[in-house]
Amino acid sequence: MNKRRSKTADYRKLEALSGGGYNAAKQRFVYCCARGGMPPEIRMADTAAGKETVLVQGGTNPRLSPDGDRLCYLSAGQIWLYDIPSKNTRRLTTMRFGAADPIWSPTGAQICFLSACADGADADWLQTLPERGTAEREAEMRGKRPVVIGDFGYKFDGLGFQQPEHTHLWVVGAGGGKALRLTDGEFNHLHHNWSPDGETVIFISGRCRDKKIPLANDLFAVPASGGDICRITSEGWLASYPTPFRPLFTPDGKYIVAGMFDADERNFEEHMPFVYLHRIAADGSEDVKIFPSGTPCHECVQFPYNTGAPRTYDAAQISSDGAYCLFCAGVNGAGNVYRASLYGEPKIEPVTDRNWVVTGIDRPQNGMAAVSVGSTDRLGDYWLMNEATGELLKRLTFRNRWQDGVALSKPEDLWFDCLDGDSRVHGWVLPPQNMEEGKRYPAVLYIHGGPHPFYAYGFDYEHQVLAGAGFAVLYCNPRGSSSYGRRHENLKKAFEGDAYVDLLQFVDEACRRFSFIDRDRIGAIGGSYGGFMVNHMAVHSRRFKAFVTQRSIANQQISYASSDMQGSSEKYKHFEEFMVRNLEKSAVSYAENLSAPILILHGLDDLRCPVEHAHQLFTAFRDVHPEIPVKMILYPGCAHDQPRGIPHRIHYYDAILRWFGEHLAEEGDADDHTG
């Protein structure tokens, strides 16, 4: 066995792929490749000749024009155009607050994009870049000037506090010139798309809704040449979070296909509402759900937690023949492509059916579509797929070849019946890399966030790094996880004990079935909801010898007011009852029961689970248990995520490896695999 084990420094080599787009006529595939901390490059594969070239250094979000000869992309916050035959590059926009999500019109004459606008600002001013030097100054001052807060929705994780700007739609000609602003008001607008004739742009927005309900979005249309905004739907909520669904026009321009939240479950009490396909007449006169019950999939979106697959813009498209909507959906830990009949008797059938996870699908052409594929084997690539049969025709990219020399570990999955008999849990066990026969290894239970996402037949290099350091990694989908149906996906069960029992049972099952796991040396780790669960375990269970809690929830009363997804006390007549109820549900309230060393990792700029959770949790443990090792590491510039920058990310994983190494490993277990 000559292959080396994974180490955190591998993140410097890891290539993240995104934005793949295919043009069948020109046999071109364009995508973005960002190698650990380096400027991302836009690459083009000539799929006929099998050659690949770098088109742009320092660009992202490449989009091929409909004729396949031009490329728009983002660089330094602006939209640029690259002409493939002439290799000429030109900047198209000078948006003061930057441009995002450019989409070609069907004729290739225009590009519709998003840009933040200061409310009430002049369109010319918004398209004028400040003098060099003052831009930085301005950006800096924007972070320092007082923020006036008058309503809900004043901050958003990853974006910071809402400055007096909102996201608006703009259109710019591919030939250049001034851009035209299509929307107004103090609201955000997103998920724009073109009508086939290029006359109309559709989008979703909460512009007619109460800001207290951030997920209530309606469908709108606006002439691409500017004009009155027309509200197409007012009943349903268009899906925007956690998995967005960009509305699609049918080729004849008569209908719009969109994902809408299940109207019966919008109270969020027991479930995240499922997202169903709707066929909506372009004039709003008809809104038909085309997602029958008894289909092979639960909804028309998916939320896999670990994929290793490249990112694409969209996970739904209209088929080449215009008869189907192709979409990606998660079932039983797999992500496959399905298709729904747009007309006639509603019907949904699988296009692919494998234990893998297809995360995105590009616009089908000539019966083929580019898809991004993740598997349990390794970091994924883009493939060309037969849109009717699901057969993979050709591999489009060949990245992350360095993995060939690494002793990647392969997970085995297992199922078990829940103790309460109400459901089954699906999980995976990743053995340590280069495992020796007969030896017993420490293990870590990794708990996913959400609780709505699901662990998939996918790949997460962080798991390999743990396996490389000599730990078995156990991960599963307890109650609350999606892809296993409504009964399993219960939100209450995720928070009120059932998922906790599922996880404990999973650990026991894994130990029972895999003799290489040392049942006395098990740690628990997780982020966000996973961190919430780790905190719960730390004060309610004696099963674990070390904990790592990431971006976690410690006190529901802190979430109530300081999360960007603020809670509600409406059901409580007296506010103090609400507070007591929150405290009952919060791990910090049981700090005296802390059972093992805990490492608390949190981003200073986290606005989803604000850093106050970490401050209070650390203080409570330290205050009450000065004798148990407790450590907190705060990461500047880090939102509700693991640190994005490579040096911080390696620091972060090193801290995890050291913590588990210190408190789980025995001498001779593993070498230092920190970066």
Partner 1 sequence: MHKAFTPGKIASIEYLSEPAAAPDGMTFAYVLSRAEKSLEAFASDIFLYDVRKREHTKLDGDGSHKSPAWSPDGRHLAYLSDASGRYQVWVKALQGGAHRQLTAMRHGVECFAWSPDGTAIAFQSKVYPAEIRDNSVYTELSAEEYAAWRAQKAQEPIEITELMYKYDGEGILDGSRQAIGVALVSGGRPKLASADIPSFRPAWSTDGSKLAFYGRPHTGVKARSCELYICNVDGGRRKQLTGDLMVGGETPPCFTKDDSAVIIDVYPEFPEGGTIQSLYGVPMDGGKPYELFDRDAKDYMGINGLPVSRSFFGQAGPLCALSPDGRWMYYLLARRGGVGVNRLNLGSRETEPVVYGDFSVQAFCLTKAGDVLYTKGTPASIAELYFRGKRLTQHNAWLKKLQIAPVRELSVPTRDGEAVIQGWILSPAFREDGVKYPAVLEIRGGPEATSAADFWHEYQALAGAGFAVLYCNPRGSTGYGLKFMQNNAAWDKAADDLMDFVSAAVKLGFIDEKRIGVTGGSYGGYMANKLVYSTGAFAAAVLQRTLCNLCTSYGTGDIGFASAKGPVPADFKMFAYLTDRAMRSLICHIDEIKVPVLLLHGYADYRCSFEQAEQFFIALKERRPELPVRLVMFPEETHDITRTGKPVNQIRHLSELVDWFKKHLIDEPWEGVGGDEQAPVEDRGL
The answer to whether the peptide bond before residue 626 is cis (omega within 30 degrees of 0) is: no
Cβ proximity to partner 1, 110 vs 162, nearer residue: 162
Q: Work out whether the CA dihedral 602, 605, 609, 611 comes out positive or negative.
A: positive
Binding residues among 192-221 for partner 1 as defined by CB under 8 A: 212
The CB-of-541 to partner 1 minimum distance in angstroms stands at 17
Question: Is residue 631 a contact point for partner 1 (CB under 8 A)?
Answer: yes
Which of 335, 557, 639, 675: binder of partner 1 (CB under 8 A)?
A: 557
Question: Is residue 644 a contact point for partner 1 (CB under 8 A)?
Answer: no
Question: Is residue 8 a contact point for partner 1 (CB under 8 A)?
Answer: no
Q: State both tokens at 603.
A: 């981003």
Which of 16, 69, 156, 161: binder of partner 1 (CB under 8 A)?
A: 161
**Count of residues in contact with partner 1, rule CB under 8 A:** 58
Beta-strand ranges (E) seen in 456-579 are 472-477, 517-527, 546-550
Cβ–Cβ < 8 Å for 239, 214: no
Q: Is residue 358 helix, strand or coil?
A: strand
Question: Is residue 85 a contact point for partner 1 (CB under 8 A)?
Answer: no
Residue with tokens 């109650």: 479
The window from 3-11, 197-205, 248-256, 554-562 that contacts partner 1 (CB under 8 A) reads 554-562
Question: Is residue 558 a contact point for partner 1 (CB under 8 A)?
Answer: yes
The CB-of-121 to partner 1 minimum distance in angstroms stands at 21
Q: Which amino acid is at 407?
A: A
Question: Is residue 555 a contact point for partner 1 (CB under 8 A)?
Answer: yes
- Residue 630 buriedness (CB in 10 A; 0-12 / 13-18 / 19+): buried
Beta-strand ranges (E) seen in 362-456 are 368-374, 381-386, 392-395, 412-417, 424-430, 441-447, 454-455
The CB-of-268 to partner 1 minimum distance in angstroms stands at 16
Question: Is residue 616 a contact point for partner 1 (CB under 8 A)?
Answer: yes
Question: Is residue 150 a contact point for partner 1 (CB under 8 A)?
Answer: yes
Question: Is residue 156 a contact point for partner 1 (CB under 8 A)?
Answer: no
Q: Which amino acid is at 431?
A: P
- Residue 120 buriedness (CB in 10 A; 0-12 / 13-18 / 19+): exposed
Question: Is residue 619 a contact point for partner 1 (CB under 8 A)?
Answer: yes
Question: Is residue 662 a contact point for partner 1 (CB under 8 A)?
Answer: no
Binding residues among 560-589 for partner 1 as defined by CB under 8 A: 560-562, 566, 568-570, 574-576, 579-580, 583-584, 588-589
Residue with tokens 């239970």: 445
CA angle 83, 85, 67 (to 5 degrees): 70
Distance CA 580, CA 572 (A): 11
Question: Is residue 595 a contact point for partner 1 (CB under 8 A)?
Answer: no
Question: Is residue 552 a contact point for partner 1 (CB under 8 A)?
Answer: no
Question: Is residue 622 a contact point for partner 1 (CB under 8 A)?
Answer: yes
- How is 88-100 classified by DSSP, letter by letter? EEEE----TT--E
The window from 36-44, 138-146, 314-322, 487-495 that contacts partner 1 (CB under 8 A) reads 138-146
Per-residue burial over 366-387, b if 16 or more Cβ lie within 10 Å, else e, is eebbbbbbbbbebbbbbbbbeb
Which of 610, 639, 665, 675: binder of partner 1 (CB under 8 A)?
A: 610
Cβ proximity to partner 1, 17 vs 558, nearer residue: 558
Cβ–Cβ < 8 Å for 654, 622: no
Question: Is residue 549 a contact point for partner 1 (CB under 8 A)?
Answer: no
Question: Is residue 138 a contact point for partner 1 (CB under 8 A)?
Answer: no
Question: Is residue 147 a contact point for partner 1 (CB under 8 A)?
Answer: yes
Question: Is residue 417 a contact point for partner 1 (CB under 8 A)?
Answer: no
The CB-of-271 to partner 1 minimum distance in angstroms stands at 23
Nearest in space to 205 (alpha carbons), one of 114, 291, 275:
114
Q: Which residues bind partner 1 (CB under 8 A)?
A: 143-152, 161, 212, 555, 557-558, 560-562, 566, 568-570, 574-576, 579-580, 583-584, 588-592, 610, 612, 615-620, 622-624, 626, 630-637, 643, 648, 651-652
